[in-house]
């Protein structure tokens, strides 16, 4: 196998864990967080007047990106997963934007984030997104191909299902 | 080794046109997170995962092709998505173990 | 501009800097969030800004995206130095927005997401000089008055 | 092939079943999707997997598999390990990838599973 030249930006410190989806009663609000424990916690707990119940867990991982030139490291603890534009409904705004970008060799992915404790999505800082983009683009070897990971400018986070986000849900289904 | 050569040697069924290129190693997994974290550009991805996200992850890390083991077939939508992203999808009735053995026999490492 | 804006900020966009594509739209979104604008206004402007930014990233050398905040609307002006658009009417036709190969063959540079920008905004205007550049001006009306700060 | 042979070929860490290394492994099945294991893995097979959750051991138990190799340096869930120890199910860890495990073992003569119909 040929040794690829060492890339400047690299995914490092991969920590395995779980994406845990939980739901509150009585509000029926849902939120998700990352758990790096060896076992996803499944016990219900109270927070104010809400009781949070475990709903689902998927195997996942968190990682950092290291700039090998400076040794700086950024951890992506807010990143839940990436959503490929083509996994969205054809004709939707982002799908259409993604098609245009695709025709010039750019693959658009949306960074979907974990929820903050109040249930609203976290945000990935633009500077960190740039690192993430460089880390993935440094790995690409197909000439002319580019990855563009965007924040959720389009408000799609609340409309997508976990099946559309790159996560390992349903791996353990024994159907 | 070229993708087309491997497809011919193992008798893989072509579910999309073959976007021929050099293969750099093999990665076997059905887990999207594993593929994103560990698969390398130019890898041949062997999986039974036929979900659209397998194509999404394959495109993200620029693997050269997806080999679906155990005769798995994705939906036409997923195949169209792969073809559009210029990711070759091949299928074989062999299981992952058998695919791995054969790929090793023909010289992939 | 026929009246003074409450606030204005300029953001430079560099052509061919793919990995930062979307950065300006992201920063502007942060600004709009600070202004406490309705979510729908932010979303529509973000889509328009992203389209405009990508046009620059894909086709132009550089541009400036300027955001002007008024009590009842947000105005955005994108001035690029690039190939310009030879036939704006053609570029504005639905369906031509995705036919980039054909567009490039016909010498169109920008204009890629123009119909989408128009769809998402309340005012839209495009001016272009071939070989010089393109100026986009668009605005979204804010139903509620922006909050202080 | 004896389990101890698998351990040496893959330089495994033995988390469970260090007293079961004489076990004879008939064949091997590689999978991350547990539904797939249930559908296709023959009993007595060695399961090669990247799934670290307790479903992995439960599935191995239900499908009557001989042992499990967890690949790519993954650590099993605490419950999974406790279950494996309790049921005397050998659980091995290796830093090798699934492809490396499959190709190395087949090179050393271990057969793949013939597909159950």
CATH of domain B3-105: 3.40.1390.20
Domain at D3-112, CATH homologous superfamily: HprK N-terminal domain-like (3.40.1390.20)
Give contacts of D52 with chain A, Cβ < 8 Å.
Answer: 16, 59
Would the CB atoms of D78 and A39 count as touching at under 8 Å?
A: yes
Segments in chain A below pLDDT 70: 1-5, 170-175
Residues of D engaging B, defined by a Cβ cutoff of 8 Å: 28-33, 36, 40, 48, 50-51, 72, 97-99, 102-103, 106-107, 112-113, 115
Q: What angle do CA B99, D3, D105 make, to 5 degrees?
A: 25
Compute the mean pLDDT over every residue in chain B, rounded to the nearest whole number: 95
pLDDT at A175: 40
Residue with tokens 């290394």: D21
- Is it the case that chain A and chain B have 3 or more CB pairs lying under 8 Å apart? yes
- CATH class of the domain whose range is C8-141: alpha beta
pLDDT at A39: 76
pLDDT at C112: 55
**Binding partners of B (≥3 Cβ pairs within 8 A):** A, D
Would the CB atoms of B101 and D103 count as touching at under 8 Å?
A: yes
Q: Which of D15, D31, D33 to mutate to test the interface with A (most CBs of A within 10 A)?
A: D33
Tell whether A174 is covered by a domain: no
Would the CB atoms of C54 and A133 count as touching at under 8 Å?
A: no
Give contacts of B56 with chain A, Cβ < 8 Å.
Answer: 82-84, 86-87, 109, 166
Total Cβ atoms within 10 A of residue D18: 12
Residues of A engaging D, defined by a Cβ cutoff of 8 Å: 16, 38-39, 59, 171-175
Tell whether A3 is covered by a domain: no
- On whether any CB of chain A is under 8 Å from the CB of C51, the answer is yes
H-helix or E-strand containing C81? strand C73-81
pLDDT at C105: 43
Would the CB atoms of A172 and D51 count as touching at under 8 Å?
A: yes
What pLDDT digit, counting tens, does each position of A15-30 carry? 878 889 899 999 998 8
C-alpha distance from residue D54 to each of A38, A162, B33, C43, D93 (Å): 10, 22, 18, 42, 15
In chain D, the residue whose alpha carbon lies closest to the alpha carbon of A171 is: D33
Nearest to C78 by CA among C50, C97, C98, C105: C50
Q: What gap in Å lies between CA C126 and CA B89, rounded to an integer?
A: 43
Where exactly are the structural domains of chain C?
8-141
In chain A, the residue whose alpha carbon lies closest to the alpha carbon of D81 is: A38
Q: What angle do CA B99, B102, B107 make, to 5 degrees?
A: 125
What pLDDT digit, counting tens, does each position of A99-123 carry? 878 877 889 999 999 988 777 888 8
**Given A16, A38, A172, which is nearest D55 (Cβ)?**
A172
H-helix or E-strand containing A16? strand A9-25
pLDDT at C49: 94
pLDDT at C2: 54
Tell whether A65 is covered by a domain: yes
Res. C146: pLDDT tops 70: no
Give contacts of B95 with chain D, Cβ < 8 Å.
Answer: 29-30, 40, 112-113, 115
Nearest to B41 by CA among A98, A131, A3: A3
Residue with tokens 């090179």: D107
Distance from CA of B4 to the nearest CA of D (A): 20
pLDDT at C11: 95
For residues C71-94, average pLDDT: 85
Would the CB atoms of A150 and C50 count as touching at under 8 Å?
A: yes
pLDDT at C107: 37
Would the CB atoms of A146 and C50 count as touching at under 8 Å?
A: no
Nearest to C77 by CA among C39, C123, C112, C44: C123
Distance from CA of B2 to the nearest CA of A (A): 13
C-alpha distance from residue D30 to each of A25, D65, D115 (Å): 41, 12, 12
- On whether any CB of chain A is under 8 Å from the CB of D32, the answer is yes
Q: Which of A54, A59, A61, A168 to mutate to test the interface with D (most CBs of D within 10 A)?
A: A59
Question: Which residue range(s) make up the domain with A106?
Answer: 9-164
User: pLDDT confidence of C19, banded at 50, 70, 90?
Assistant: confident
Q: What gap in Å lies between CA B54 and CA B61, rounded to an integer?
A: 11
- On whether any CB of chain B is under 8 Å from the CB of A40, the answer is no
- On whether any CB of chain D is under 8 Å from the CB of B98, the answer is yes
Total Cβ atoms within 10 A of residue C13: 25
Distance from CA of C20 to the nearest CA of A (A): 6
Segments in chain D below pLDDT 70: 113-117
| A16 against B45, higher pLDDT | B45
CB pairs under 8 A between A and B: 79
pLDDT at C15: 79
In chain A, the residue whose alpha carbon lies closest to the alpha carbon of D54 is: A39
Total Cβ atoms within 10 A of residue C143: 9
- On whether any CB of chain D is under 8 Å from the CB of B38, the answer is yes
C-alpha distance from residue B106 to each of B11, B101, D60, D96 (Å): 13, 9, 31, 20
Distance from CA of B12 to the nearest CA of D (A): 17
Would the CB atoms of A99 and C98 count as touching at under 8 Å?
A: yes
The tokens describing C105, both together, are 């063959």
Distance from CA of A11 to the nearest CA of B (A): 7
Q: D29 and D111 in contact (C-beta within 8 Å)? A: no
- On whether any CB of chain C is under 8 Å from the CB of A144, the answer is no
pLDDT at D104: 94
Res. C85: pLDDT tops 60: yes
Where exactly are the structural domains of chain D?
3-112
pLDDT at C95: 53
pLDDT at B48: 92
- On whether any CB of chain C is under 8 Å from the CB of A148, the answer is yes
Q: Could you tell me which residues come within 8 angstroms of residue A125 by beta carbon, excluding any fewer than 6 positions away?
A: none
> Is the peptide bond preceding residue A69 cis, with omega within 30 degrees of 0?
no
- On whether any CB of chain A is under 8 Å from the CB of C81, the answer is no
């Amino acid at each position: 196998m040929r040794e690829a030249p060492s890339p400047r930006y690299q995914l490092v410190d991969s920590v395995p864990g779980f994406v845990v989806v939980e739901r509150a009663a009585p509000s029926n609000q849902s939120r998700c967080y990352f758990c790096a424990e060896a076992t996803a916690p499944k016990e219900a707990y109270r927070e104010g007047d809400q009781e949070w119940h475990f709903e689902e867990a998927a195997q996942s991982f968190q990682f950092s990106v290291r700039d090998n030139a400076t040794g700086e490291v950024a951890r992506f603890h807010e990143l839940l997963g990436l959503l490929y534009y083509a996994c969205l409904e054809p004709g939707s705004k982002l799908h259409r934007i993604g098609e245009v970008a695709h025709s010039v060799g750019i693959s658009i992915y949306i960074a979907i984030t974990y929820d903050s404790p109040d249930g609203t999505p976290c945000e990935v800082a633009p500077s960190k997104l740039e690192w993430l983009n460089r880390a993935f683009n440094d790995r690409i070897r197909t000439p002319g191909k580019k990855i563009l990971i965007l924040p959720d400018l389009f408000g799609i986070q609340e409309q997508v299902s976990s099946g559309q986000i790159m996560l390992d849900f349903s791996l353990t289904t024994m159907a | 080794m070229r993708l087309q050569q491997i497809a011919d040697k193992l008798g893989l069924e072509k579910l999309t046109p073959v976007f021929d290129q050099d293969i750099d190693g093999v990665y076997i997994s059905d887990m999207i997170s594993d593929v994103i974290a560990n698969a390398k550009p130019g890898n041949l991805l062997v999986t039974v995962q036929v979900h659209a996200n397998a194509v999404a992850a394959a495109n993200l890390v620029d693997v050269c092709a997806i080999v679906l083991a155990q005769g798995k077939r994705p939906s036409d939508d997923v195949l169209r998505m792969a073809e559009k992203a210029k990711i070759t999808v091949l299928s074989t009735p062999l299981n992952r173990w058998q695919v791995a053995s054969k790929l090793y026999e023909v010289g992939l490492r | 501009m026929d009246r003074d804006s409450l606030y204005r900020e300029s953001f430079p966009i560099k052509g061919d800097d793919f990995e930062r594509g979307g950065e300006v739209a992201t920063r502007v979104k942060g600004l709009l969030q600070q202004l406490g604008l309705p979510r729908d206004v932010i979303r529509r402007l973000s889509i328009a800004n992203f389209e405009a930014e990508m046009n620059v990233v894909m086709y132009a050398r550089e541009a400036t995206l300027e955001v002007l905040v008024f009590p009842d609307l947000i105005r955005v002006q994108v001035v690029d130095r690039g190939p310009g658009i030879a036939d704006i009417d053609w570029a504005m036709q639905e369906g031509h927005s995705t036919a980039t190969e054909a567009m490039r063959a016909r010498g169109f540079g920008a204009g890629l997401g123009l119909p989408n920008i128009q769809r998402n905004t309340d005012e839209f205007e495009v001016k272009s000089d071939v070989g010089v550049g393109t100026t986009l001006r668009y605005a979204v009306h804010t139903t509620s008055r922006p909050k202080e700060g | 092939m004896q389990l101890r042979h698998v351990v040496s070929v893959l330089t495994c860490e033995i988390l469970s079943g260090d007293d079961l290394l004489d076990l004879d492994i008939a064949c091997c099945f590689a999978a991350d999707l547990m539904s797939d294991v249930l559908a296709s893995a023959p009993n007595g097979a060695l399961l090669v997997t990247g799934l670290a959750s307790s479903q992995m051991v439960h599935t191995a138990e239900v499908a009557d598999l001989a042992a499990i190799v967890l690949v790519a340096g993954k650590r099993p869930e605490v419950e999974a390990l406790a279950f494996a120890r309790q049921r005397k199910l050998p659980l091995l860890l290796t830093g090798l990838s699934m492809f490396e495990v499959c190709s190395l073992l087949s090179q050393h003569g271990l057969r793949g599973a013939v597909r159950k119909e």
